[in-house]
Structure 1
Amino acid sequence: MAAFTDPGMVTQENHRLALQKYPYDNILFTPGVKCTTCGFVKPARSKHCRTCKGCVARQDHHCVWINNCVGQGNNHYFILFLCSISLLLTYGAYASHLLLSQLLQAKQQSLEMFSNRQRLQPIPGIRHWSTGLDWSDYFASWGWALVEDVCVGGVGLLSALCMPMAWGFLGYHIYLMWAGMTTNESLKWADWRDDIADGLVFIAEEETGETFLLNTGQVEKDVEPQLAYPSPRKRALKRTLDGKPPIYPQSSDKVSNPDLQGKFTPEWRRVTSLREVDNIYDRGFWKNVESVFKPVFL
């Protein structure tokens, strides 16, 4: 299902509906950015996939294991895929361990029975096969068991080696749900975090009721998000190359420049931590989970 379900491809027919899904946060996603390949304005949280040859709504990543993008339409199937794979690999490793341990125990029992018959002694209770073995003999016994039953041993080794990776992926995607992010967005936030650490990011918050000159992009006024997301605060977040606050036109230029009417020069302060920046897509863990497992299809 994760491989064959539409991940949420944005087309000319559903483009307007895709714009209504999520608001722009003016940090990771700004209005007016046009996809040069698809030819339309990119909806918030979408990303163009060169492999799938299209923009995907709330794109997480392109997964080579399912040969499909993971997006708004199939993210819940992908989470269930990770759950099932993790559980099956754990079961495979555990079952193989039990079968090979039984094989070693049967070998230990036959050896002790043969030894007691040779000595004409009664057969006592059979001890566990690993009792009294040092580490080299212990691992040598497992090596014998793997060779003795290659099929079970191969399944056990494959399961044991892949199990940590599957649980790691599952844990990472649970974290993404908790944080209200996608893999694509986590990479964007990582870029901001690196620039903040270098002292290159500044923030300005509205205090006068006027609006910022955030960007030149425009979005249709009657296109509003359908979901209840917190409105982004009137603030600007900017990167600079020299570590100095951005320079905007002075307030005296408002009169001479009609384009700056209703705008002002904000007071910039340096951002010291990513915690100072709001992620409006984080609506709380349970609402984030609901948005993944009850997707609104295009």
Structure 2
Amino acid sequence: MTFLQAAFTDPGIITRENHRIALQKYPYDNVLFIPGVKCTTCSFVKPARSKHCRTCGGCIARQDHHCVWINNCVGQGNNHYFILFLCSIALLLTYGAYATQHLLSQLLQARQESANVFYSQYHSRPILGVQHWSTGLSWSDYFSLWGWAIVEDVCVGGVGLLSTLCMPMAWGFLGYHVYLMWAGMTTNESLKWADWRDDIADGLVFMAEEGAGEVSLVSTGHTERDIEPQLTCPASKRQILKRTPNGEPPNYSRSGDKLPYLDLKGEVALKWHRVKSLKEVENNYDRGFWKNVESVFKPVIL
């Protein structure tokens, strides 16, 4: 209950007061997040790894998803609380399933005579002896006796059924979020990577060749102080991916096309090659498992 209550806290809603801090938290990777993209609702440039949530009514820093369990977004401010909540609920459900099995097993062992009387109507001889109640039973009789035990102690049986049915879902969610930390992703980013994978399979994605020299990302109608503190970087360390509608390499020499990738002299600096597999694309937000865990459990307060 403590972690559940903590997960209700501010997920990292971006306002005009903390917008600058949010911009400085993560760089744009030019794959999932492009500099200069403006949120039409909040009317400011979206920081990298953020997403606007219509339910919460704002852009969320490092937004993972909007969770119906807690009726709140999971983002930079409460992701660690949400993971601890999943961990605690998974352990609680596991203990509930185990404790129920133990109690009902004791009930069956202690009430063998009652079970023999109940099942003697359908069997020529008693199916339970002095040994463990499950010894020598067929699968049909085994599950029938569990059904009898659940009906006999319906409160414990109901809790056990609920715990057993919900336990795999809780462990599945927890395992998925541990995987996301390992991969340096959020749920929102995993969906974006899935879109890139589909476009790559269709042959529509091109990447700038490494070693093209230092490039400057030209603003698309916004000033540099509104986008990202550092707009220049080595092209070999920052991938630039482009989708094309016809499967042809990007051509910025055509009339009317913008030149978003220029070298320091103002000339087109990038050459493109077709991406054949998502393995060729590096996730720039993956800093290694332990650093990813640290970024989740030691978030920057906006």
Q: Is the 8 A contact 1:59 1:184 kept in 2?
A: yes
Is the counterpart of residue 163 in structure 1 residue 167 in structure 2? yes
- 1:97 alignment partner, one of 92, 101, 116: 101
| Mapping of residues 149-298 of structure 1, within 5 Å | 149-209=153-213, 211=215, 216=220, 218=222, 219-220=224-225, 224=229, 233-249=237-253, 262-264=266-268, 266-298=270-302
Is the counterpart of residue 35 in structure 1 residue 39 in structure 2? yes
Moved over 6 A (4+): 212-215
Alpha-carbon distance, 1:103 to partner: 0.7
Alpha-carbon distance, 1:127 to partner: 0.8
Change (3 A) 1:213 1:145: same
Q: Is the 8 A contact 1:211 1:263 kept in 2?
A: no
Change (3 A) 1:234 1:32: same
Alpha-carbon distance, 1:223 to partner: 5.2
Distance in 2, Cα, partners of 1:30 & 1:133: 64
Alpha-carbon distance, 1:209 to partner: 2.2
- 1:11 alignment partner, one of 9, 15, 18: 15
Q: Is the 8 A contact 1:201 1:237 kept in 2?
A: yes
Residue 132 of structure 1 corresponds to 136
Distance in 2, Cα, partners of 1:28 & 1:214: 17
**Deviations 1:212-244 (Å, cap 9, x if unpaired)?**
77773653189538xxxx997354211112222
Change (3 A) 1:265 1:149: same
**Structure 1 range deviating more: 199-208 or 162-171:** 199-208
Q: Unmatched 5+ residue regions in structure 2?
A: 117-128
Q: Unmatched 5+ residue regions in structure 1?
A: 113-124
Q: Is the 8 A contact 1:16 1:223 kept in 2?
A: no
Structure 1-normalised TM-score? 0.85
Residue 75 of structure 1 corresponds to 79
SS in 2 for 1:10: coil
Distance in 2, Cα, partners of 1:29 & 1:195: 16
Is the counterpart of residue 56 in structure 1 residue 60 in structure 2? yes
Alpha-carbon distance, 1:294 to partner: 0.8
Distance in 2, Cα, partners of 1:264 & 1:47: 31
**Deviations 1:145-200 (Å, cap 9, x if unpaired)?**
11101111111011000000000000000000001000000000110011111111
Change (3 A) 1:79 1:111: closer
Q: Is the 8 A contact 1:20 1:224 kept in 2?
A: yes
Q: Is the 8 A contact 2:214 2:263 kept in 1?
A: no
Distance in 2, Cα, partners of 1:57 & 1:215: 22
Aligned-residue CA RMSD (Å): 2.8
**Deviations 1:74-119 (Å, cap 9, x if unpaired)?**
000000000000000000000000011111111116678xxxxxxx
Distance in 2, Cα, partners of 1:134 & 1:203: 61
Change (3 A) 1:278 1:214: farther
Distance in 2, Cα, partners of 1:139 & 1:21: 55
Distance in 2, Cα, partners of 1:47 & 1:34: 11
Q: Is the 8 A contact 2:108 2:133 kept in 1?
A: yes
SS in 2 for 1:158: helix
Q: Is the 8 A contact 1:2 1:77 kept in 2?
A: yes
Structure 2-normalised TM-score? 0.84
Q: Is the 8 A contact 1:93 1:159 kept in 2?
A: yes
SS in 1 for 2:111: helix
SS in 2 for 1:69: strand
Distance in 1, Cα, partners of 2:158 & 2:146: 12
SS in 1 for 2:36: coil
Percent of matched pairs sharing the same residue: 76
Q: Is the 8 A contact 2:50 2:59 kept in 1?
A: yes
Q: Is the 8 A contact 1:212 1:266 kept in 2?
A: no
